[in-house]
Every structure is written in structure tokens, then in C-alpha cells.
Structure 1
Amino acid sequence: MSVEVSRLSNGLTVATETIPHIESVALGVWVKSGSRNERQEEHGIAHLLEHMAFKGTGRRSAWQIASQIEDVGGEINAATSVETTSFYARVLDTDVPLAIDILADILTDSKFDPAELEREQNVILQEIGAAYDTPDDIVFDHFTETAFRGQRIGRSILGTPDTVQAFTSAQLRGFMDRQYAGDSMVVVAAGNLKHDDFVREVEKRLGSFRPTSGAEAPEQASYVGGDFREDRDLMDAQVILGFEGRAYHVRDFYASQVLSMMLGGGMSSRLFQEVREKRGLCYSVYAFHWGFSDTGIFGVHAATGKSDLAELVPVIVDELRRSGESILPEELDRARAQYRAGLLMSRESAASRASQIARQLLLYGRPIPMEELIDRLAALTVDRLADLSHRMFSGVPTVTAVGPVSPLASYDSISQRLGGTRSAGRTAAIG
């Protein structure tokens, strides 16, 4: 299996990976525009636009968009992230032209009907309310808002009730016209198809799409860290301890990914064994690393009862510090194997493969061969991971907590235990 790439005259990139032993195709359009590309007054518009794309075009009603794809047993959906928006479908190989036609239709001829807009605004208001009522969701919104205080990259993708309710059809159309263009979009398919046939279908429907956008580049991100606590009368507390991570393009990105696996990527990880298995201080603990185009963020999320919160965070901090002092070769081998297996297993899903190719094209401008990724993993050493750990966890932390948080140690004491001397840029407490 290999990836073939073509570029249309309007700058649109089209890529495919043929997987001949299956009978379906996963395909979609990925746009290099997400919540980070919103202007100050547009908070939440990228996500609202994703919803509204399925609410009717000049040729199809909302019902027809859904029913035509489901009449052939297919599925269609969309997603908004910080830096991208995607519209994708999965169908049998014989129905690829229909899927392309529907996706192109919603991208070129969405009506943004005011009555549909009002209904969808109400749906998103419910989403916002549901997120607030779900502590293990809202704690992540507070986490990014605190880590990137006052910046678009840190804002919730959903927006706020005030901003979402204020949007008009004209604003949606204006955002789409400004952000969506051939040079900022990729169309990718993986499954049982031929590249040239797919390119012809895409060119037929999107070849005349505007070549360039009038979008300004998003503001440069700046990690600042800090402290946020919301005291709520809940059974458990949700806590995230975070640090500045690494962008996709930097040398330490894959090392950061593997470090997160080693510390909290499974039941054999350091944090799971020390915090949950040996001490029983929480019912959930894991580490994660998110990369963006110009920055990243590393975090440890834990959920525990009020009585264990005071002891929990110091134990996590001590494990992070120890990783900067010593990493065993078998720990690196295990984490590397987990990450490698995840990469290889993802290739068994056409949808995962299409998404991975699209992400690589948007971020790197080329698909990255699996052999190259495996070589990068093989080049990691225990000394390099220990050095990265020491540097990362010596930086300014971000502490975010929701629930019965009064037993949680102060931000300054957490920072000092990590070996840092700087205080938070902001301390916020609600409750």
C-alpha cells in the first residue's frame, strides 16, 4: 500500500491510499482551519459552521443529505478541532461518486437557512451546558484556557452561549469564504479505489473551488501556565497537571509522545502502577501529549475522591521528577512498542488511515511513510527521554481542578516540589 498525491489547478491536494482487500472507502475533506482561526468576536463559529454544513444546500435538504448517504448504507459526519475541520464519509466502493458529490455540495452550496441556524444554535447551547455538567470534560477546557491564557488556541471549541446565539447566516458564509480555499484543503480517500478515478471525481466537483483564501495567519501561541480551581460539591475531583509540550515539527515531538506512553499510557505505566495500583489514590490516571503547529501541551489527568486528593498530586509530581533522573531501557522499549503498535494497528482502519494522511499533508505538506515514523521511534534513547523529561517538568506548570478541590496543594507548593521557582501568571478560583 502506498499513498498517491495529486494537486489540482486550484491548489487543492488530492491523496489516496488503495487498500484492495476491503470493499469500502473512507473519504473526506480536511480544511486547515479550526477554532484557532476565529477572530475575537467569532468564538465558536468554526464548530457551528461544521454543524450547519449538513442543514441543507441549494440541491439537497437536511433530510436528503442524511437519507441519500444512508440509503446506500453509508455514514457521514464532521469534526472541528483547534486547527482543522473535517467533513468525511464511509461508503462501499461503488458509492464513492455519491459521497464526493454530497461532501462537495455542502462545501460549495450550503444555504445556512436562518430557521435551521436557530435550531442548531439551540443544539450547541445544549452541548455547552452538557460539557459544564460533565466535570471530566470541562476540566480540559479550563486546562487549555489556563495554559494559553487570553489566546484563541486556548478557547473552548464550542464557544460561549453569548457568542453562539449572536451568529448570523451572513457571518457563517463570511467565515467560510475567508477560511475555505483550495490551497488550505485536502481531499483524502483510503480503501478499494483507483487514484486517477478519484481525482477525476474530485476535480469534477471541486476543481473550480476558489484557489486562495483571505484568511490571516493565526496568532503565534505562547504557553504561560497557571492555576485554575473550581470548587464543586461532587463525589470526586478531576485534576490535570500540565506543562509546555512540543509542536509537530520539532525534534522532540515523537519523544514527547513516547514519554507520555511511558508515564501514563497503560496499566504497566509508571503513574498507573505507582498511583493507582500500589497506593490506590485514584480510579483513573493517564498522561497525554497534544501537538499543534507551533506549540504543544503535556498533561497528566487524574480522578479521585476528596480524601485522597492531598496525597495524590505530590505522588504524581515525584514520579514526573524521577523520570528526569532515570528511565529504564525496558520502560522505553515497552512505550515504544505501544506507540509503534498503535501506528500499525491504525492502518487496519481505512478511516484512521485517511485521517492520518490528511493530517500529515496539512502539517508537513507530504505523507510520511510508516518506515520513516518507525525509524524515528527506533532512534529514541533513554538519555534523550530523561533529558526531555527533566527540561519539560522543570518548566512552569498548569494546574486545573474541578470538584472538591480544597485539599489540593497550592500552586506555589506544587511548583516548588517540581523544582521550579516561578509563580503562576494567574490564579483563579470559583466556588
Structure 2
Amino acid sequence: MTSDPQITTLDNGLRIATDPMPGLRTASVGVWVGAGARVEPAEINGVAHFLEHMAFKGTKRRSARHIAEEIEAVGGLLNAYTSRENTAYYAKVMADDLPLALDIIADILQNSTFDPQELERERGVILQEIGECHDTPDDVIYDRFQEVAYPGQAMGRPVLGTVDTVRDMPRDAIRDFMAKRYAGENMVLCAAGGLDHEQFAQLAAEKFQNLGPAQETDNPRAVYRGGEYREARDSEQVHLLMGFEGPSFEGQDYYTAGVLSALFGGGMSSRLFQSIREERGLVYSIYSFSSTFADSGMFGLYAGTSEKDVAELIPVVTDEICALADTLTEVEISRAIAQSKASLLMSRESTNSRSDQLGNQMLAHGHPVSEADQLKALDAVDHDALTAMARRVFASPLSLAAIGPLSQLESYERISDRLRLN
């Protein structure tokens, strides 16, 4: 199942990309919009996510209930997500029901009514979502981490918005955001699974006739800064995030950072897991990550530990960070590359993953990135590239976020000094 994606561009600028998987009886279809939290004005932070919710709350032809009933009547699944850079609306259905899924998605993205009563109900739902996130430290800490990495910028604001911005969000702000951002040239329609490209593209051309031109496409550049956030809570665990500036998703550095993360804290054989959990028992959960954006990125690690162990944890973590560039071995490099390649290939067996990858690649690069090119890029990662990446990443300013009982957590300055002095 390694067919090449096919692309058709409509006159209104909408790009249609498909990844046929011959023999499959299911298909995934969705629209990816280049409009996430990073393009929101501060006073309407959360509008992209609010719009995502409202798209399912009724159109000129369907009520919210009818939308749910139609897709579930054929055993399908309909969902959406909002990230800092994109918003996606997608469905998974039996291949024969692909026209229905396409019709529903086209309807909610062109004909939503934003009924005032539905809007007020959904406002309450989102406020509950924000409250639930606040009550879950290992969720909210990522928002705080993003804020200190990109202070005073849309990239640093929470995807959900805040209680104040959501409570005060006017209906017109949601409608205007859609009018300005949801246009053909800023959207990609993707499908993967049991489908024929030409038939799908022809149907899509009929369904997406009402897309207007984009009124606004600016995307303020993200500038990584670093800093700290601390919130003392009476809880069992200290939730800790430490991060640095990483690469964007352009070029070979994206793959190098991914392999470095797999090696450093990507599994049970990784350095962080073995050194900090297995050998010392200082944490239950610890892992590293590489988050990439169009023009910036972060490389970091998360750890959950007890109040009494955090004082021992920090020196061990900083020692591991500082030693990484000079102690890489060919065995662990090979293992990390194998992990990365296996993860890629396993994801290729899912129609949802294929359509999601295709949508994000089209928005990021303007074209699909083939499986062969991705495997080639992973094979090109070597000792020298990983060493250079580790030195570059860990030389940048520290971003630190911590929530929990923090009496034993060293100061930001002391932790930064440890990173410089090792």
C-alpha cells in the first residue's frame, strides 16, 4: 500500500490530495485549514477552537442532531481538532459512504449558521473544557510551557483560549474569522483509503463551490525566547517541563531532531528512562519530545516526580542533557533510527494517519512528502548531525514550567547555570 498521492487544484484554490489504498473497504476524508491559534488576535484568543466547535452545531440544511445522526447511521466517525497552526475536520467511513462524509464536511464549512442559542450552549461547553484542563496539571502545564517559550505572542497563547476571551467571544468574531481564513487557497481536502482520485475530485468540485477568497492570510513569525512559569499546588506530583529552541519542520533538521528525541527519551531503552526511572526510580513518567512549527520549534522533556525527589532529579537531568552531545553511540543511534522508521511505517497502515499526514504536509510544504523521501531522510541522520543538533538545541535559553509542590525545586537561574557549567 505505497501508492503515490494524487493532487488536483480547483479554480477557487482548494487543493484536493488523495492517497488511494487499493483493497481497503474504508476511507478517511477531511479538510485541513491553515488557521490555528497562532493567527488569532489576543482579544479573541480561542476563536479558532470555538469555530471548530460551532461548525458542528447546524447548517442551513442540517441541525446539529442531524449531522450526528447522518454520519452515525452509516457507522461513521466525525471529528475535528484545533492546533496552534491548523484546524482539521475529518471523518472515517466505509468507502461506499465517502460521498456522504464529503457532503457533510462541505456543508459545515460553507453553510454553518452559528445559531445564537447553540453558540451560548457551546460557550458553556468550552468553558468547562478549559476548567477541566486547568484541573489536570499534566495538561495545563503544556500551555504554560508554550507561554514562557513564546511570551507575548499568539504562538504562546492557549489553543482553547482563556475564560475571559471565551466568555466574551462575540458571534461576529467567529463568523469574521471563518470568512477571513476559511478560503480555498488556505485549505486542503485530503482523503485516504478505498477511493478513486478522479471520482473524488469531481465530487469535491461540486461540493465546494461556495468557498470565497481569503481576506487575511498573514501569519506572524514566532520568536522563541525562553523563561519560567511556576505554580505551587498541593498535589502528590511535581509536573515539570524543560525545553529549548528546536528546528522548524523545514529540511533535514526536522528528522534529526526527531531521532535525537527518540534516542534521548523516546522509549524504555532511551537514556532518560533508563537513567532516571530504571536506575534511580526518581519518576514514574519521563520522556522527551520535538515540537515543530512552520518557523520555529521546541525540544524538551517532561517528568513527573514527587516533592522529595525533585531536588535529586534536576541535577541528574541536567547532567544527561549536557553529556548527550559528547557520548552518542552508534548502537543507540541505529536503534533510534529504527524506532523512527517503524513509527512512520506503522502509521502508514491507518487511513486516518495517512490523510492527516497528507493534510499537514500540504499545508506545511505545499506538496506531499513521500514515504521513500521520509525514510531516506531518516537514513541520512548520522552521528555528526545528532551531535551538532544536541549542541545547538541545548545552547539556547531554557524554558521551564513546573506545577505542584515546588519547595525543593531549584531556581531558574541555578538550573540554567547547571546547563552552562557542565
Aligned residues with identical type, % of pairs: 46
Contact 2:110 2:210 in 1 (8 A): no
Q: Distance in 1 between matches of 2:174 and 2:411?
A: 43
| Pairing 1:307–2:313 present | no
Rounded to whole Å, the distance in 1 between the matches of 2:50 and 2:249 is: 27
Residues 231, 275 of structure 1: alpha-carbon distance in 2 compared, 3 angstrom cutoff: same
Distance 2:102 2:118 in 1: 24
- Measured on the aligned residues, the alpha-carbon RMSD in Å equals 1.1
Rounded Cα–Cα distance in structure 2 between residues aligned with 1:384 and 1:59: 55
TM-score under structure 1 length normalisation:
0.96
Match of 1:58 in 2: 60
Equivalent position of 2:380 in the other structure: 379
Displacement after TM superposition at 1:420 (Å): 6.9
Contact persistence 1:35–1:43 (CA under 8 A): yes
Structure 1: distance between partners of 2:219 and 2:385: 32
Find the partner of 1:126 among 125, 128, 131.
Answer: 128
Residue segments in structure 1 that go unaligned for 5+ positions in a row: 422-431
SS of the aligned residue for 1:241 comes to strand
> Deviations along 1:182-205, whole A, 9 cap, x unmatched?
001000000111000100111001
Q: Aligned to 2:218, what secondary structure does the other structure show? A: coil
Equivalence for 1:96: 98
Q: Which residue of 2 aligns with 1:201?
A: 203
1:226-265 mapped onto 2 (5 Å cutoff):
226-265=227-266
Q: Is contact 2:77–2:91 with CA below 8 Å preserved after alignment?
A: yes
- Checking the alignment, whether the CA contact within 8 Å between 1:238 and 1:403 is kept in structure 2 is yes
For 1:180 and 1:10, how far apart are their aligned partners in 2?
A: 12
Instruction: Give the aligned partner of residue 46 of structure 2.
Output: 44
Please give the alpha-carbon distance, in whole angstroms, between the structure 2 residues aligned to 1:297 and 1:400: 14
How far off its partner does 1:207 sit? 3.2
What secondary structure is seen at the aligned counterpart in 2 of 1:246? coil
Hey, what's the Cα distance between the residues in 1 that align with 2:230 and 2:15?
Answer: 44
Structure 1 residue matching 2:308: 3-state secondary structure: helix
Q: Deviations over 1:284-311 (max 9, x none)?
A: 0000011000000111000011010011
Counterpart CA distance in 2 for 1:62 and 1:391 is: 50
- Larger deviation, residues 152-161 vs 200-209: 200-209
The answer to whether 1:14 aligns with 2:24 is no
Alignment of 1:210-225 (within 5 A): 210=212, 212-225=213-226
Equivalent position amino acid for 1:141 in 2: D
**For residue 101 of structure 1, what is the amino acid of its counterpart?**
D
Counterpart-to-counterpart distance in 1, 2:187 and 2:102: 14
- Of 98, 122, 143, which residue of structure 1 is paired with 2:145? 143
| 2:184 equivalent in structure 1 | 182
Report matched runs for 1:403-422 at 5 Å.
403-419=404-420
What does residue 425 of structure 1 align with?
Answer: none
**Number of positions where the alignment pairs a residue of Structure 1 with one of Structure 2:** 420
Equivalent residue for 1:329? Answer: 330
Maintained 8 Å contact 1:8/1:207? no
Q: Work out the CA distance in 2 between the residues paired with 1:85 and 1:304.
A: 34
Secondary structure of 1:387's partner? helix
**One-letter identity of the residue aligned with 2:362:** L
- Structure 1 segments, 4+ long, off by >3 Å, are none
Question: What is residue 394 of structure 2 aligned with on the other side?
Answer: 393
Cα deviation 1:31-84 (Å, max 9, x = unaligned): 011011111211001000000000000000000000000001111011000000
3-state SS, counterpart of residue 309 of structure 2: helix
Q: Does the 8 Å contact 2:252/2:377 carry over to 1?
A: no
